[in-house]
Amino acid sequence: MQTDWIMGLIGGGLIGTAAALFLLVNGRIMGASGIIGGLVDKSGRHAWQERSALIAGLVIVPALMTMIAGTRPTYLTDNLLLVIIAGLSVGIGTRVANGCTSGHGVCGISRLSLRGIVATVFYIGAGGLTVVVFKHILGLI
Amino acid sequence: MRNIVAFVVGGLFGAGLLLSGMTNTQKVQGWLDVFGDWDPTLAFVMGGAIIPMAIAWQLTKGRRPVLGGEFDAAPDPVVDRRIVIGSVMFGIGWGLVGLCPGPAIASLTFGGIGGVVFMIAMIAGMIVAPKLRDTLA
């Protein structure tokens, strides 16, 4: 359990370093939903190469790491209906709110952005409530 | 050069998500599950990520990006209902299966069929989102 926290801090440090690099060198905000969302709804057309390159790194590096060091199960539910509902909800919600855990959470909170803080409070609150209702009350997850 | 930096940034981001355990949906749901066997890992990940980024924001003051251009403009600081409604929708999906956009992309090659289905649904949601966003404006 303690190693989980240490790995959390180390992994978090890498995520923050990545976000810092993207801001200081390229001048951009590292928000996962904004980067992919801007590609799919074409609002980010102007920077499509940079966005595609970031997504390529985000897919390829973990792919190589799991190939070398062994796979890391995601323990995602087998219930594909639930997966589809969740995916739609995450896709719509992050684009309507203009950010997710990386954009509002990491990049927003670190500059004490009120929008980032409010968004984070609401998605964590809604996520917590969802787990309580669907796991402890309905027993569906 | 910008693309090489972006690739490295994506790689570091992915490595961080994998090492910290954030591609494990049960750790994420475990963090949201305050009435169950609560797992604090996500708070350490967030804390670890916010520290370097807070320093980076300080370093942007009075400077320009290393590769030229301007820093991304800060969004309109208004907290409107899109922030609230969108974040609640995101949180519900996140709680249901334990995936958010970053880890969903990072685990694409080893997350099985479910991970691919999630990604397709998420992209579909992102395609229809601008309509809802305009309606709520």
Give the chain B residue nearest A15 (alpha carbons): B13
Q: How confident is the model at residue A2 (pLDDT cuts 50, 70, 90)?
A: confident
Look up the ipTM and state it: 0.96
Share the mean pLDDT of chain B.
Answer: 95
Classify the C-alpha dihedral A20-A36-A83-B80 as positive or negative.
Answer: positive
Task: Please check whether residue B99 is in contact with residue B28, taking contact to mean a CB–CB distance below 8 angstroms.
Answer: yes
Flag if A91 and B70 touch (Cβ within 8 Å): no
Mean pLDDT across B106-112: 97
Shortest CA gap B62–chain A (Å): 12
Shortest CA gap A48–chain B (Å): 10
- What confidence score (pLDDT) does residue A1 get? 61
Rounded to whole angstroms, the Cα distance separating A97 from A105 reads 12
Residues in chain B: 137
- What confidence score (pLDDT) does residue A25 get? 98
Report the residue from A37, A78, A128 with minimal CB separation from B126.
Answer: A37
Report the residue from A65, A72, A102 with minimal CB separation from B24.
Answer: A72
Share the mean pLDDT of chain A.
Answer: 95
Q: How confident is the model at residue A141 (pLDDT cuts 50, 70, 90)?
A: confident
* Per-domain boundaries in chain A: 76-141
- What confidence score (pLDDT) does residue A39 get? 96
Shortest CA gap B61–chain A (Å): 10
Of all residues in chain A, the percent with pLDDT exceeding 70 is 99
Tell me the Cα Rg of chain A: 17
Task: Please check whether residue A106 is in contact with residue B50, taking contact to mean a CB–CB distance below 8 angstroms.
Answer: yes
- Determine which of A36-45, A58-67, A122-131, B68-77 has the lowest per-residue pLDDT on average: B68-77
Query: Which residue has 């809802």 as its token pair?
Result: B132
Distances (CA, A) of A114 to A28, A30, A102, B90: 19, 18, 15, 18
Mean pLDDT across B106-118: 97
Query: Which residue has 């060198």 as its token pair?
Result: A25
- In terms of Cα–Cα distance, which of A61, A111, A114, A42 is closest to B60? A111
Residues in chain A: 141
Flag if B102 and A25 touch (Cβ within 8 Å): no
Distances (CA, A) of A62 to A67, B20, B70: 8, 12, 30
Rounded to whole angstroms, the Cα distance separating A90 from B116 reads 14
Q: What is the DSSP letter of A46?
A: G
pLDDT over threshold 80, residue B19: yes
Flag if B70 and A27 touch (Cβ within 8 Å): yes
Classify the C-alpha dihedral B23-B24-B28-B31 as positive or negative.
Answer: negative
- In terms of Cα–Cα distance, which of A25, A93, A116 is closest to B99? A93
Q: How confident is the model at residue B135 (pLDDT cuts 50, 70, 90)?
A: very high
pLDDT over threshold 70, residue A15: yes
pLDDT tens track for A122-131 = 999 999 999 9
A23 contacts in chain B (CB < 8 Å): 53, 56-57, 60, 65, 71-72
Flag if B130 and A57 touch (Cβ within 8 Å): no
pLDDT over threshold 80, residue B77: no
- What confidence score (pLDDT) does residue B74 get? 74
Q: Does B125 touch chain A (CB under 8 A)?
A: yes
Task: Please check whether residue B96 is in contact with residue A141, taking contact to mean a CB–CB distance below 8 angstroms.
Answer: yes
Flag if B48 and A8 touch (Cβ within 8 Å): yes
Helix, strand or coil, per DSSP, at residue B62: coil
Q: Name, in order, each residue with C-beta under 8 angstroms of B58's C-beta and a sequence gap of 6 or more.
A: none
Distances (CA, A) of A31 to A80, B103, B130: 26, 12, 17
- What confidence score (pLDDT) does residue B78 get? 84
Flag if A11 and B19 touch (Cβ within 8 Å): yes
